[in-house]
Amino acid sequence: MSELFTIHFDKESQTYKVSGELTLETARDVKEDTDKRFADATVMNIDLSMVSRADSAGLALLVAWMRQAKASDKAISFYHVPAQMLAIANASGLDAILPIK
Confirm whether 101 is domain-assigned.
Answer: no
Q: Is residue 63 part of a domain?
A: yes
Instruction: Estimate to the nearest angstrom the gap between the alpha carbon of 18 and the chain centroid.
Output: 7
Would you tell me how many other CB atoms lie within 10 Å of the CB of residue 41?
19
pLDDT of the residue at 98: 95
The answer to the question of residue 43 being in a domain is: yes
Element (H, E) at 60: helix 56-71
| CATH number reported for the structural domain that contains residue 90 in this entry | 3.30.750.24
How does pLDDT run across 69-94, given as a tens digit for each residue? 999 999 999 999 999 999 999 999 99
Work out how many domains the chain is built from and give that number.
1
- Quote the pLDDT of residue 25: 92
Identify the domain containing residue 82 by its residue range.
5-96
Query: Which regions of 1-101 does DSSP assign to beta strands (E)?
Result: 5-10, 15-22, 43-54, 75-79
In a domain, 89, yes or no: yes
38 in a structural domain: yes
pLDDT tens digit sequence for 26-83: 999 999 989 988 988 889 999 999 999 999 999 999 999 999 999 999 999 999 999 9
